[in-house]
Structure 1
Amino acid sequence: MDDIHLADERTLLLGLLDRQRAEIVALLDDVSEEEGRARLVPSLTTVMGLVKHATFVEKVWFHSRVAGVPRHVVGLPDDIDSSFVVDDTDTVASVREAYLAACDHSRTVVEGRDLDEEHQWRTVRVSLRYIVLHMVQELARHAGHGDILVEQLQARR
């Protein structure tokens, strides 16, 4: 990855977002199918579920909100909890592939757009800059959750 420490604002923000995206996808690097599905906490949070949720938030913010495509057209569930559900057809590879594809599409959506461009979020308007920063925060938080789960799984081996 290019050095972003002295980059312009856009390069810095999108570079930080890509770093967090890489942290999310790396959660799947050394987990088996069984480990990826393992529930170590009472919630729906699993390693694969976290990556599926990250795919969901990419689609909510960039594919739907920024691109202006209705949520049902993007194929988004109505509630957040559903975004963590790992079904029988999911595999580590398919979850990884879906996430990488969502990130690629998000980059395409953002390409050429001004960071000051505004989008509706609930009852307020937010800038694309806000959305990118929100995504950095969201993915960093979930990558931290995932790191703890992976550490617990590795300790079981």
Structure 2
Amino acid sequence: MPTSPVSSPASSSERTLLETFLDGCRTALPATLDGLDEEQVRRRLVPSRTTLLGLLKHLTYVEAFWFQHAVTGASLRDLGVASTPDRSFVLRKDDSAASLRAAHAAVVEASRAAVAGRPFDEVVTGRGRPVSVRFVHLQVLKEYAQHTGHADILREQLLAG
């Protein structure tokens, strides 16, 4: 039986629960690259641009977009990420598992810093409309959950073939 990532979910605060589940996803997605070579993490197994490495790059964009762009107002250009979600899947020749893991880890740390001490009810701007810091956490958690599932399936296909 799976266990909860927190010792006592019933008595944990909303922030503790959301941050714990988000951190679990932040770890799970990069772990899908473990033990695979550069060719495998770049291999396209579906008609879209979706690859394991592309998913990591996309979630780095998602972190930067929501936790820094939406919360702090930093421009996407200044953050060094793609200008659109679709472009965030595009891999450059110099993108590697190591470089994108490092970029992801750096963005996660910046994300944590951006929301440290901010109340969940604080209103920020997300995609041109007001949203709460709580919404930002839930949106990013949703993205990780969806794409980590994709990554699990891609990894399974790579290891089977």
TM-score normalised per structure 1: 0.93
**Cα distance in 1 for residues equivalent to 2:91 and 2:126:** 27
Runs of 4+ off more than 4 Å = none
2:146 is aligned with 1:141? yes
Aligned residue in 1 for 2:125: 120
Retained in 2: the 8 A contact 1:116–1:127?
A: yes
Equivalent of residue 54 in structure 1, options 55, 59, 66 = 59
| Alignment size in residue pairs | 156
CA RMSD of aligned residues (A): 1.4
Aligned residue in 1 for 2:23: 18
**Cα distance in 1 for residues equivalent to 2:22 and 2:7:** 14
Q: CA deviation at 1:85?
A: 1.1
Retained in 1: the 8 A contact 2:42–2:53?
A: yes
Equivalent of residue 104 in structure 1, options 104, 109, 120 = 109
**Cα distance in 1 for residues equivalent to 2:112 and 2:129:** 24
Q: What is the one-letter code of the residue matched to 2:101?
A: R
Aligned residue in 2 for 1:67: 72
TM-score normalised per structure 2: 0.91
2:10 is aligned with 1:3? no
**Cα distance in 2 for residues equivalent to 1:59 and 1:118:** 17
Gaps of 5+ in 2: none
**Cα distance in 2 for residues equivalent to 1:76 and 1:34:** 23
Deviations 1:91-134 (A, max 9, x none): 11111111111111101111111111101223531100011011
Identity of matched residues, %: 43
Equivalent of residue 79 in structure 1, options 79, 84, 87 = 84
**Cα distance in 2 for residues equivalent to 1:64 and 1:121:** 8
Cα distance change, pair 126–91 in 1 and its aligned pair in 2 (3 A): same
Q: What is the one-letter code of the residue matched to 1:98?
A: A
Deviates more, 1:119-128 or 1:25-34: 119-128
Retained in 2: the 8 A contact 1:49–1:83?
A: yes
